[in-house]
A and B are shown apart, each in its own frame.
Chain A
Amino acid sequence: MGVALTKSAQWTTAAGFGTGTLEITPLNEGILKEIIMFVESFIYKHPQEAKYVFVEPLEWKTNLDPSAFESGYVVSATTVKSEEVDKNGQPLLFLSVPQIKIRSFGQLSCLLFIAKDTKLKEAQACIEANRNPVAKILGMDYNTMKEDPSILNILDKITKEDDPESEVKMKMAMLLEELDLHLLNYSLKHASLEIHLNPVTIKKDIELLKHFSGQGEQTVLESIEYTSDYEFSNGCRAPPWRQLHGEICYVLVKPHDVETLCITCCAEGVFLNGGKTDDEGEINYERKGAIYKDLVTFLKHKSAKFSENMSKQVSTRLTEEQQKVKDQPKKAPKKKEADALHKSITSSNKSKLENNQINFGKNQMTKRLEPSVNWKTDVDFKVISVRDTQEKKHGGRPEKSTPPVSPGRAQLVHKNADKTEEIPSESSSESEEDEEPPDHRQEANADLPSEYWQIQKLVKYLKGGNQTATVIALCSMRDFNLAQETCQLAIRDVGGLEVLINLLDTDEVKCKIGSLKILKEISYNPQIRRNIVDLGGLPVMVNILDSPHKILKCLAAETIANVAKFRRARRVVRHHGGITKLVALLDCAQNSTEPAQASLYDERDVEVARCGALALWSCSKSYANKEAIRKAGGIPLLAQLLKTSHENMLIPVVGTLQECASEESYRAAIKAERIIENLVKNLNSENEQLQEHCAMAIYQCAEDEETRDLVRLHGGLKPLASLLNKTDNKERLAAVTGAIWKCSISKENVTKFREYRAIETLVGLLTDQPEEVLVNVVGALGECCQEYENRVLVRKCGGIQPLVNLLVGINQALLVNVTKAVGACAVEPESMVIIDRLDGVRLLWSLLKNPHPDVKASAAWALCPCIQNAKDAGEMVRSFVGGLELVVNLLKSDNKEVLASVCAVITNIAKDQENLAVITDHGVVPLLSKLANTNNDKLRQHLAEAISRCCMWGRNKVAFGEHKAVAPLVRYLKSNDTNVHRATAQALYQLSEDANNCITMHENGAVKLLLDMVGSPDQDLQEAAAGCISNIRRLALATEKARYP
């Protein structure tokens, strides 16, 4: 007890001087309660020891009134004596207001019983007054002796036999010892449970989070702010009267995926409070949720996005921190912070982090398809970077983690800064590897392969040799495996790149050839590419494109093709006029008048053109380059080359076209240059890569209706359909399915596809395919299912089940297509039965919660036929708990497509009276009315339909009038779209049953507009317009009658 009291109990600062007081803390309270429990039960558990008389009385000031003491006590006005006395006849309890003296545990127990509610205060006062109770109870000497338990034991044995009193004393001592231990344990447990937050940690947390907040996908939060700018000297921001409750500050947090949270940070933890009240900016301090141990934990529970991004940030942050710690080992606090962060976050997030990485990989897969050569390099690149990070992780190699200080790098940063304004002009089809990969240089001390030294020697001869020695060294260097990274990096690390690039500036044709042959090989390495650009290699190569020697042109173009795999390089090529020169290389046929003295180093013209196309293919991944190629007259030349039959030539040509076809201008030119014909022809090629690029180009171009027709007219649909059966090459399959998707937007093409039995095959591809294939397959099915025959076909082939299964995916593009396809199928009542059985409607409905507006809208469109065709649709809709509320709330969206689709869903829901009543209760009328002011015809049509349906319930007609929906509706009649007219006239007809609405319509000139509509060939429109006019007229007559009876 002594130890517990001195060490664990939290005394106020005054403790050292005289009577200190115990602070009111949960810990102290706990300790006191434990002591009280011990004392209270003492009398029952140890009756013998309870009678033991303390050596000195415990003495304190009590608040108890003498009158509280009853039987067993001699009570006077100001004094109380216990009837129980010691051997000397002294009372064991003596109270002389306010001083009380107690000399046994029995009396202490009694006192606590008497104190009832105030026992905590009494116990506290007692402990405060008697800082060393053990000494008083057992005597001073005992207190010191008991430090050593072995002595205690001996003493125990000796005394046991002769002296009964000291035996009791001994037992007493042991009991107290036990209590002490118990208390220590208790306080330890308490301490470990309650690590209190303090203003400093909270401030750090908030600053950290602020650092990672802002707009954009990568941040953890949108914003985090204090409610008050004023910070008290103790670091708190809460008003003083709230600080009393341990509250430190209040924070407004806006995560990406949930509403703004108003949070209280207090000593016990972090919790959601009642939020800011609207009117005065006051905070409702009441706690509204569970207490979390800190801000980060709290936010992780509240926002999924936060926890996802946080785990990303933490990993980077951690490395940063570690870096800092490494750099400045003296700054211990940073390390602590990092450790704390680590402790609190890593354990729970490791798994998430991994998930993220997996997802990240997937995302890259689903990006636009790149030419396969690119894919290969991407994979290479990823492997490298993965290895890099691994090395970093495991590495005790400090050099790796420090930023490289090569001059090239510095220059690079500078260049980047220069060109920032140009970045937006780059096209979206940029390859992923645009991020600069970390440089990792060979270390001087590491075990270097023998190639390294040999290459070093060769580079020495390159530097110090004449032409002859240089050629020998270059040829010898080519004997190394230049595809191997060790050799590539060795050449760079011994300064070989500089020499090779310098050689390009000489007049020695042989040296240039030898150098380019090496550069061409090693530039497959992404790092080398960057080094070549940094060393200014590209402008020299671009100049070589003008060389009279074809072999030099070829080699330079091929090397450029390799180097220009990243954005900065492509820009350099363009800025040095490379695109024009490369396009000139394509022009091989015209160049037939060449000097007769074809020298040793010559290539065929076709080869030159091929290399040119290869380089253009690489360059064409930047938007500005696509433009430059077009301006340089590249398209007719590419079209010309497309007529050849060399696969080697066709692949880069089609690759370039495919890349460029993302631009509208190219698609027009492709159509004009009759390129489609040749693309179709090459679909029949044997070469998989060529087939893939052709299909990809068709996929790009078939956005255009005329092109789709051209594909059909040139017989392209059949090869596409037959390629669909070859599923081994996934890249090709993705391209082919993409082409089929886009082509099937035209009805005639769909008919052809059905003829070629492509629809059955497509259904077969709904399972076990990568996402990029699935997106296209489902897209194609969605288009095909617009026709009755195909819907039946899809159902009969069992396509509905896999389609519905795909509704649970996460890929946005896939979901948009799947919902469309399911919606198309749902038009068929028989299919609808299957969808309903598979719970497809519920899945569609839950996609209304998807964060992407495209998915939301597509799901909503799909729901319309479902509701139309489902049996017991009303009942089905009602069965979705919260479903109707969800739909109504989507009317608050700001996306026009979402709004139109949701209006259509509401139109269908409102066909059921009961559901109409429910959505009316959810406030559908004001929400629809709010949308009325729009110019979007699609939205207008569906909105008018929804309004017209919703008028069927209660006083909704009146309510629409009250919410000022009528006047804007009248204006819809001025639109050019007949669908809008019809829907609007019907809505107005419904609304016109309310007199006030008639007045509004009349005031807004509806009658004249409606009169025109009566003349429309559309019967529904006629009827609605006429009905509306008649209602208005009838009201007018009634008014007249009322006025002049």
Chain B
Amino acid sequence: MNRKKLQKLTDTLTKNCKHFNKFEVKCLIQLFYNLVGDVTEWQGVVIGLDRNAFRNILHVTFGMTDDMIMDRVFRGFDKDNDGCVNVSEWIYGLSLFLRGTLEEKMKYCFEVFDLNGDGFISKEEMFHMLKNSLLKQPSEEDPDEGIKDLVEITLKKMDYDHDGKLSFSDYERSVREETLLLEAFGPCLPDPKSQMEFESQVFKDPNEFNDM
């Protein structure tokens, strides 16, 4: 990609992105193209990270492990649902990932947890997301009993309107009361430590910025 094009891309993306400055956007674009590999752009062919590549990044860079959650994160990034994260989706997603406000993050997390996208997190969805969260006790008669109980506990805590499922307003209210519940059903945001490592690695060379 030539320099001019890059400059232009950076300018447009910076304009649309509220959390990153120009330098950061440039760094992230560079990183994106490094990850995608130096493929020339074909007419009609979308350049971007496919599901596997993206999941790999999530796992290696941000220490995520839960397959299902990673899938949901991919969907969260892939706004146009074309099975691949392009450069603007990448910048937009990361701006939320790294710098998002609580509101943005809540919205994003709720979308991640709302598996079927019906606007509610149902008991079944919770169960699905939590099913691996407890150590299986061999002595237990029903191995799922603990999970069910955990779902009940969560509902008791978060379901303010007592309709047996979490609406966004239920979720929002709970999170505002206790921020820890933002990622209630699984880590879908980078943990602070890997976030810090990532940022220090990517945004490390301000001299380059000055050169421009």
Contacts and interface: CB of A to CB of B under 8 A. Distances in A.
Interface of A: 457-458, 460-461, 464-469, 471-476, 478-479, 507-510, 513-514, 548-549, 597, 599-601
B130 A469 contact: yes
B43 interface: no
Interface string B86-108: 00000000000011001001000
B48 interface: no
B146 A461 contact: yes
A883 B196 CA distance: 84
A464 B147 CA distance: 11
Nearest to A601: B179
B134 A469 contact: yes
Closest 6 pairs between A and B when the two form their complex, measured CB to CB: A464-B135, A469-B133, A466-B133, A468-B133, A476-B153, A465-B134
Contact of B181 (A457, A471, A508, A548): A471
B80 interface: no
Contact of A469 (B105, B150, B156, B183): B150
B102 to A, nearest CB: 6
B184 interface: yes
Interface of B is mostly: helix
Given A468-B183, A475-B178, A548-B192, 13 more contacts: A466-B132, A468-B130, A468-B187, A469-B133, A472-B150, A473-B150, A475-B181, A476-B154, A478-B178, A508-B191, A510-B180, A599-B192, A600-B102
B66 to A, nearest CB: 9
Interface residues of B, number: 34
Contacts of A549: 192
Interface in B129-143: 129-130, 132-135, 137
Given A467-B187, A472-B150, A601-B179, A479 B134 contact: no
Contacts of B154: 472, 476
B153 A468 contact: no
Most buried by A among B132, B157, B180: B180
A458 B157 CA distance: 13
Contacts of B112: none
A464 B134 contact: yes
A471 B150 contact: no
Interface string B119-136: 000000000011011110
Given A468-B187, A479-B157, A509 B192 contact: yes
Most buried by B among A460, A471, A473, A479: A471
A600 B187 contact: no
Contact of B135 (A465, A478, A509, A548): A465
A600 B178 CA distance: 11
B11 interface: no
B166 interface: no
B153 A472 contact: yes
A466 B130 CA distance: 9
B180 A468 contact: no
B199 A461 contact: no
Contacts of A472: 150, 153-154, 157, 181, 184
Contact of A597 (B99, B129, B135, B193): B99
A473 to B, nearest CB: 7
Contacts of B180: 471, 474-475, 510, 513-514
A479 B181 CA distance: 13
Contacts of B129: 468
Contacts of A461: 134, 146, 150
Contacts of A464: 134-135, 137, 146
Interface in B156-172: 156-157
Contacts of A479: 157
A509 B154 CA distance: 20
Given A464-B135, A465-B135, A600-B179, A473 B153 contact: yes
A457 B149 contact: yes
A550 to B, nearest CB: 12
Given A469-B130, A476-B153, A597 B199 contact: yes
A513 B181 CA distance: 12
Most buried by A among B105, B178, B185, B191: B178
Contacts of A597: 98-99, 195, 199
B182 to A, nearest CB: 7
Most buried by A among B135, B179, B187, B192: B192
Nearest to B175: A600
A512 to B, nearest CB: 10
A551 to B, nearest CB: 9
A510 B134 contact: no
Contacts of B102: 600
Nearest to B186: A468
Contact of B185 (A468, A507, A601): A468
A502 to B, nearest CB: 15
A509 B183 CA distance: 12
Contacts of B179: 600-601
Contacts of B186: 468
Nearest to B178: A475
B27 to A, nearest CB: 14
Contacts of A599: 192, 195
Contacts of A467: 187
Nearest to A551: B179
Contact of A507 (B146, B149, B193): B193
Given A509-B191, A597-B98, A597-B199, A476 B157 contact: yes
Interface in B62-114: 98-99, 102, 105
B146 to A, nearest CB: 7
B156 A476 contact: yes
Contacts of B130: 468-469
B68 to A, nearest CB: 12
A538 B9 CA distance: 53
A816 B142 CA distance: 75
A345 B185 CA distance: 68
A474 B184 CA distance: 11
A509 B196 CA distance: 13
Most buried by A among B137, B150, B191, B196: B150
27 contacts: A457-B149, A461-B134, A461-B146, A464-B135, A465-B133, A466-B133, A468-B129, A468-B130, A469-B130, A469-B133, A469-B134, A469-B150, A471-B184, A472-B150, A472-B181, A472-B184, A473-B150, A476-B156, A479-B157, A508-B191, A510-B183, A548-B192, A549-B192, A597-B195, A600-B102, A600-B179, A600-B182
A600 B156 contact: no
Contacts of A473: 150, 153
Nearest to A600: B179
A659 to B, nearest CB: 34
Contacts of B135: 464-465
Contacts of A600: 102, 105, 179, 182
A505 to B, nearest CB: 15
A461 B102 CA distance: 27
